[in-house]
Amino acid sequence: MKKYLSLGGGVNSVAMLLLLLDAGERFEVVFCDTGLELPETYNYINLIDHEIAPVTTIKGSIKDQTGKNHAGPLLESVKAHFGMAVDET
């Protein structure tokens, strides 16, 4: 049976990645890209992909069939906090 590690880029998933590698486990590392991550997260995932273990990226979307963004108020407040523009398309 194939094993997977869901990598979010935070301390817990990275710690688990390193522990599993140290234990000699065989698994595929998967990053689920919502398209809403901060640039630093993408940079960190890229670093892990190139320096630690290959990362398979699965791209998702929270837009409906008309292209309307359904990220909601939480996304707006997070992006406003970091001074980022909110993409409503």
Q: Tens digits of per-residue pLDDT, 19-51? A: 999 999 999 999 988 777 889 999 999 999 999
**8 found inside a domain:** yes
Q: Is residue 89 part of a domain?
A: no
Is 63 a domain residue?
Answer: yes
Comparing 25-39, 40-54, 58-72, 73-87, which segment has the lowest mean pLDDT?
Answer: 73-87
Q: Write out the residue range of the structural domain in which residue 53 sits.
A: 4-81
pLDDT in tens, 4-23: 999 999 999 999 999 999 99
- If you average pLDDT over residues 54-73, what whole number do you get? 71
Instruction: State the pLDDT at residue 73.
Output: 53
Rounded (to 5) percent helix, strand, coil in the chain: 40, 20, 45
Chain centre distance of CA 57: 8
Let me know if residue 28 belongs to a domain: yes
Is 88 among the domain residues? no
Domain total for the chain? 1
